Amino acid sequence: MTNAETITKLNEALNTLIKAYEELQEDNSSLENKIKNLENEVSELKSAKHDLEVHVEELTSTKENLEKNLNEFESHKEEDNSNINSMLGKIESLLNKKVDGSSTSEFKKQDESNVLEIKEEESLLDSIVEESNENKIDDVKSSLYEKVEEITEKKDDESKDNKIDLNRMASLLNGFNR
């Protein structure tokens, strides 16, 4: 082998090494890009995981509050039902006592007599109101009549004071003429 052949073979080997190095460099760059992408995905997944954990905590808290409200509602419902049942029992017992104590015809008679009493009281009140209104009207009329009389008397007095005594004037004039 000659020097020229050795140089050519070394050149070929060097070119092959350079190509292999460039390919490795490209592979390394693509792998670094993949690593960065995967790291970004991992970061996004961690953030999503954290958000989901926070959301789970919120949902758990909401669930606990809803369960608490449901328990309170059920207890209030039970209390209301027992109160309603006791009231209904009392009403039934009162109705049974009244029905046992008197018949329905007696209730009707009592209702009719109550209605008549109410009507009588209303008519009595109406007549009292009418009488008081008439008395007030009479009082107003009499006070107006008195005021009119006072005014006419004052006018009469004023007109008497303002009248000229003709006889007196004549005597005065006669006195001046003499």
Give residue 41's domain range.
1-101
How much is the pLDDT for 18? 96
| Higher per-residue pLDDT: 103 or 50 | 50
DSSP code of residue 102: S
Q: Which of 32-46, 97-111, 140-154 has the highest mean pLDDT?
A: 32-46
| Higher per-residue pLDDT: 44 or 173 | 44
Cα gap 16→10, rounded to integer Å: 10
Question: In the chain, how many domains are there?
Answer: 1
Cα 52 → chain centroid: 38
pLDDT tens track for 82-114? 888 888 888 888 888 765 555 555 656 666 777
Question: From the CA atom positions of the chain, what is the Rg in Å?
Answer: 61
Task: Give the range among 37-46, 100-109, 126-135 with minimum mean pLDDT.
Answer: 100-109
pTM here?
0.37
Does residue 60 sit within a domain?
yes
Checking if the pLDDT of 177 tops 80, the result is no
Checking if the pLDDT of 40 tops 90, the result is yes
Q: Which helix (H) or strand (E) holds 93?
A: helix 3-101
- Mean pLDDT estimate for the chain: 82
10, 13, 20, 22, 30 from 17: Cα distances, Å: 10, 6, 5, 8, 20
